[in-house]
Amino acid sequence: MRLKNKVALITGGANGIGLATAERFAKEGAKIILWDVSGKGNDVVTRLKKEGCDAIFQKVSVTNQEEVQQAVAAAHAHFGRIDILINNAGITKDRTLLKMSKQEWDDVIAVNLTGVFNCTQAVAPIMKEQNYGRIVSASSNVAIRGNFGQTNYVATKSAIIGMTKVWAMELGKFGITANCIAPGFITTAMTDLMPEEVRQQSLPLIPLGKWGVPEDIANGYLYLASDEASFVSGICLTIDGGAAR
């Protein structure tokens, strides 16, 4: 087991990539702190527990700094440590620059950028105290290649690559690694929002000729969260079937 007795906090764990990650980490022996704004996270944790995983669900919005700090303190009191933070929660509100409202900009910044800051800042002192930690955040391959209609989303996903490099520098001396993943098109509720026409247009851009599944990204999170990646820090691992060029 690659994460035996490690305690992993996964944000946005009720659906899609976060859910696949919670399931994958549980199979590798991790204890799970699952966060989501959706109460569906409760059902996920109930199922994980039935399968023998030590897990708790906390209904937390990563946008709310006070809520994040309180939930981290409670989870830390429960498990005694937090080894892994998976900053996975994210949303899209796509619109071209000329049509994007200030609200659409603010909403995406609040979850995808401020949320990642809130969670990392709350967990890092615990990791520092332990002299051990793994921080892995969700960027996107659109951070590298841009994407039509995603000024807000691309801004956040590019920022995650930059913040990750800063955290690798600042936190390395405390035994903490910081990395991120840049997924390409992955079949989840998020991409279900995309028009069928756009989905079809995406296929010729992917050398492997297909979309990924949430488990493809869960496997990347697992590698970067494991001790196999103990000398890997500050990188962005692209998992997109070869599309980001």
Ligand X SMILES: NC(=O)c1ccc[n+]([C@@H]2O[C@H](COP(=O)([O-])OP(=O)(O)OC[C@H]3O[C@@H](n4cnc5c(N)ncnc54)[C@H](O)[C@@H]3O)[C@@H](O)[C@H]2O)c1
The reply on whether position 219 binds ligand X by CB under 6 A is no
- The residue among 124 and 186 lying less far from ligand X, judged by its C-beta, is 186
The reply on whether position 220 binds ligand X by CB under 6 A is no
| Element of type H or E holding 182 | strand 176-183
| Element of type H or E holding 244 | none
Q: Which of 37, 108, 144, 236 binds ligand X (CB under 6 A)?
A: 37
- The residue among 115 and 133 lying less far from ligand X, judged by its C-beta, is 115
The reply on whether position 183 binds ligand X by CB under 6 A is yes
Q: Give the shortest CB-244-to-ligand X separation in angstroms.
A: 10
The reply on whether position 236 binds ligand X by CB under 6 A is no
Is 153 one of the catalytic residues?
yes
Q: Give the shortest CB-131-to-ligand X separation in angstroms.
A: 28
Distance of CA 124 to the CA centre of its chain: 16
The reply on whether position 11 binds ligand X by CB under 6 A is yes
The reply on whether position 91 binds ligand X by CB under 6 A is yes
Angle between helices 65-79 and 115-130 (to 10 degrees): 30
Alpha carbon distances (Å) from 22 to 15, 59, 208, 209, 224: 10, 15, 26, 27, 14
Distance of CA 163 to the CA centre of its chain: 14
Q: Which of 188, 226, 233, 238 binds ligand X (CB under 6 A)?
A: 188
Residues 64, 126: Cα–Cα separation, whole Å: 19
The reply on whether position 164 binds ligand X by CB under 6 A is no
- The residue among 14 and 53 lying less far from ligand X, judged by its C-beta, is 14
Q: How many helices (H) and strands (E) does the chain have?
A: 10, 7
Residues 126, 7: Cα–Cα separation, whole Å: 12
Which residues are the active-site residues? 153
Which residues in this chain contact ligand X in the complex, by CB under 6 A? Answer: 11-12, 14-18, 35-38, 61-63, 88-91, 111, 115, 138, 140, 183, 185-186, 188-191
